[in-house]
Amino acid sequence: MALIKYITDVEIAFGAIEKLPEACRASGMTKPLIVTDAGVKAAGILATAIQAMGDMPHAIYDGTPSNPTEAAVREATVIYKQSGCDGLIALGGGSSMDCAKGAAITVSHEGPLKTYATIEGGSPKITAKVAPLIAVPTTAGTGSEVARGAIVIVDDGRKLGFHSWSLVPKMAICDPALTVGLPSGLTAATGMDAIAHCMETFMAAPYNPPADGIALDGLTRGWANIQTATEDGSNQTARLEMMSASMQGAMAFQKGLGCVHSLSHSLGGLNPRLHHGTLNAMFLPAVIRFNGKADSVRNQRRMQRMAYAMGFGDIEDADSATNTVANAVTNMNQRLKLPSGLGEMGVTEADFAAVIKGAMADHCHGTNPRIATEEDYRAMLLAAM
Q: Name 162's bridge partners.
A: 150
Q: Name 135's bridge partners.
A: 90, 172
HSE, side-chain direction, 13 A CA sphere, residue 354:
15
HSE, side-chain direction, 13 A CA sphere, residue 26:
11
Element (H, E) at 35: strand 32-35
Nearest one of 19, 67, 8 to 177, comparing CA atoms: 19
What whole-number distance in Å separates Cα of residue 316 and Cα of residue 318?
A: 6
What is the three-class DSSP state of 99?
A: helix
For residue 82, the tally of other CB atoms under 10 A from its CB is 9
The pLDDT value given to residue 173: 93
What average pLDDT does the chain have?
Answer: 92
The pLDDT value given to residue 32: 96
What is the three-class DSSP state of 61?
A: strand
266 class by beta-carbon count within 10 Å (0-12 exposed, 13-18 middle, 19+ buried): buried
For residue 319, the tally of other CB atoms under 10 A from its CB is 12
Nearest one of 85, 145, 82, 154 to 118, comparing CA atoms: 154
Task: Answer whether 0.95 is exceeded by the pTM.
Answer: no
The CA distances from residue 197 to 48, 74, 200, 253, 320, in Å, are 29, 29, 5, 7, 22
What whole-number distance in Å separates Cα of residue 147 and Cα of residue 159?
A: 17
Task: Taking residues 233-241, report their average pLDDT.
Answer: 94
Look up residue 178 and give its amino acid: L
The pLDDT value given to residue 298: 57
The pLDDT value given to residue 273: 87
The pLDDT value given to residue 297: 45
Nearest one of 177, 8, 167 to 88, comparing CA atoms: 167
For residue 40, the tally of other CB atoms under 10 A from its CB is 25
> Per residue in 242-261, pLDDT tens?
999 999 999 998 889 999 99
β 149-153/159-163 pair status:
antiparallel
120, 55 in Cβ contact below 8 A?
Answer: no
Check pLDDT > 50 for residue 176.
yes
Q: Name 87's bridge partners.
A: 32
356, 378 in Cβ contact below 8 A?
Answer: yes
> Per residue in 265-305, pLDDT tens?
999 888 888 999 999 999 999 999 999 988 764 566 899 99
Check pLDDT > 90 for residue 50.
yes
235, 176 in Cβ contact below 8 A?
Answer: no
Phi-psi region of 101 (alpha: psi -120 to 50; beta: other; left: phi over 0): alpha
What whole-number distance in Å separates Cα of residue 340 and Cα of residue 306?
A: 23
DSSP 69: B
Task: Taking residues 176-199, report their average pLDDT.
Answer: 94
What whole-number distance in Å separates Cα of residue 364 and Cα of residue 204?
A: 9
> Per residue in 93-131, pLDDT tens?
889 999 999 999 999 999 899 999 988 999 999 999 999
pLDDT category of residue 318 using cuts at 50, 70 and 90: confident
What whole-number distance in Å separates Cα of residue 168 and Cα of residue 369?
A: 26
